[in-house]
Amino acid sequence: MLPNPYTPGDRPRFFVGRATERQLLRDKLARVAAYGEMMGPLTIVTGPRGVGKTSLLRDVAGQAEEDGFVIAWVSCVKQHPFLAEVVDRVERSLERAGIGSSGSRRIKDLTVEVSAGFAKVRARLEAGPVAQPTALVGPLEDLLGRAGRLVRERGGSGLIVMIDELHAPLESTREWEYAPEQQALLHGGVLLNAVQNLAGERAGLPVGVIGAGLPQTKSLLTRAATFGERSHELVLGEFDDTDAARLLTEPAAALDVTWSAEAVTEVVRTARGYPQSLQILGAATWDAAAPERGSELDLAAVQAGSHAARSALASIFEARWAVATAAERAFLSAMARVQQPVVRRGEIAAMLATSTESLSMVRRNLIVKGIVEEAGYGRLRFTIPGFERFVLAQTTSTREH
């Protein structure tokens, strides 16, 4: 039996599309490699859940490693300070690259320097809550700069720090006002300051920092430090039909399996360019058909897999529904009942017999949770296609009880 080549919820086996964003990031890295200088201000990849932020970062990381970069990968946690993790990951990534072991005298000296850098940042972090970012910015700059130079000394290109889920530490702990975890916010400020200073100096600092997070990441960063707004943002959206079709056909083609045109059209139509849904539908179709080399996945296979696909999608929907408050659920139900792909705020307010102003907090919280997103001025839509049907079903079943 052939293995299922689709990767719902996982790094894709065949990376598709994102040519512009990929090229942009690669160009930035190429500059670090060529000139041995800082990549520039913080670059962030943003977009709704499941759109492919982590996949893009992983893809760029893979390429960068081939180009001689050492990658420190950090995945942030909700309302949690994250600098200790950054320091830890930088240190581990150097160790894994075999840097810091033996080598020439010059390298040994540098290793000592870098270790001293780690010790300093770590001691500061462990000493308890820090009130002033200044206590950490300098040490973090030193650490990143030295680590990057050390990689370079060893013939590598430099150090790239990738910070996924960057919105998470900066999120509010309360729903009705912005009240972040203070140390987490401070760490955001420290990171921005350090990156900004390194970018200012630039020369001899072969370092880059790339983040990823939900659409609100940039505005959260701006709350952590005013020049958070200077970060360079790459916004990921849905796939167009060509890339969506390739996401389905390429993994199959590698195993000598084809898709019929109608089957592709049906899945592309259902998934509406959303990579996570495409992977789920692709995987379910494959499992239902259990194809052999040389066979074709047709419309019947898509239909046979649709039950499994729906339940896979339902578990994602349920997770989102579970984190919504009663007021948010009422908002979502009203939005779903409009039965339009893009819904005007006024229509939701009218459904709920209230004003758009009184709904603004609920609306904002739903955006922060990644359940809905803005689609032009005063308009909203669900981030995952099919969620409206799920919401309608939820509302109907609660009414029946």
Which residues in this chain contact ligand ATP in the complex, by CB under 6 A?
7-10, 12, 15-18, 47, 49-55, 247, 275-276, 279
Q: Which amino acid is at 181?
A: E
* C-beta of 168 vs 362, nearer to Mg ion: 168
Residue 16 contact, options ligand ATP, Mg ion, none, Cβ 5-8 Å cut-off depending on partner type: ligand ATP
CA angle 245, 251, 257 (to 5 degrees): 90
- Quote the least distance from Cβ 59 to ligand ATP, whole Å: 7
* C-beta of 333 vs 383, nearer to Mg ion: 383
Q: Please state at what angle helix 326-338 crosses helix 360-368, rounded to 10 degrees.
A: 90
* C-beta of 15 vs 82, nearer to ligand ATP: 15
H or E segment to which residue 190 belongs = helix 182-201
Q: Using alpha carbons only, how large is the chain's radius of gyration in Å?
A: 23
* C-beta of 263 vs 278, nearer to ligand ATP: 278
- Quote the least distance from Cβ 276 to ligand ATP, whole Å: 4
Task: Name the closest residue to Mg ion (Cβ).
Answer: 54
- 348 class by beta-carbon count within 10 Å (0-12 exposed, 13-18 middle, 19+ buried): buried
In our burial notation (b when 16+ CB lie closer than 10 A, e otherwise), range 185-198 reads: bbbbbbbbbbbbbb
SS3 204: coil
- Quote the least distance from Cβ 199 to ligand ATP, whole Å: 25
Task: Name the closest residue to ligand ATP (Cβ).
Answer: 52
* C-beta of 87 vs 247, nearer to ligand ATP: 247
Q: What contacts 345, CB < 8 A, 6 or more positions away?
A: 356, 359, 363, 378, 379, 380
- Quote the least distance from Cβ 314 to ligand ATP, whole Å: 16
Residue 163 in contact with residue 194, Cβ under 8 Å? no
Residue 275 contact, options ligand ATP, Mg ion, none, Cβ 5-8 Å cut-off depending on partner type: ligand ATP
- Quote the least distance from Cβ 397 to Mg ion, whole Å: 31
Running DSSP on this structure, what letter comes out for residue 238? P
* C-beta of 28 vs 58, nearer to Mg ion: 58
- 337 class by beta-carbon count within 10 Å (0-12 exposed, 13-18 middle, 19+ buried): middle
* C-beta of 200 vs 237, nearer to ligand ATP: 237
In which residue are the tokens 């904002």 written?
364
Cα 313 to Cα 311: distance, rounded to the nearest angstrom: 5
Sheet holding 343-344, edge to edge: 343-344, 379-382, 372-374
Cα 122 to Cα 128: distance, rounded to the nearest angstrom: 11
Residue 273 contact, options Mg ion, ligand ATP, none, Cβ 5-8 Å cut-off depending on partner type: none
- Quote the least distance from Cβ 60 to ligand ATP, whole Å: 11
* C-beta of 53 vs 187, nearer to ligand ATP: 53
Residue 55 contact, options ligand ATP, Mg ion, none, Cβ 5-8 Å cut-off depending on partner type: ligand ATP
Q: Among 155, 177, 181, 154, which Cα is nearest to 167's?
A: 181
- Quote the least distance from Cβ 165 to Mg ion, whole Å: 7
| Residues across the chain | 401
- Quote the least distance from Cβ 158 to Mg ion, whole Å: 24
H or E segment to which residue 187 belongs = helix 182-201
Residue 17 contact, options ligand ATP, Mg ion, none, Cβ 5-8 Å cut-off depending on partner type: ligand ATP
* C-beta of 286 vs 317, nearer to Mg ion: 317
Contacts with Mg ion by CB under 5 A lie at 53-54
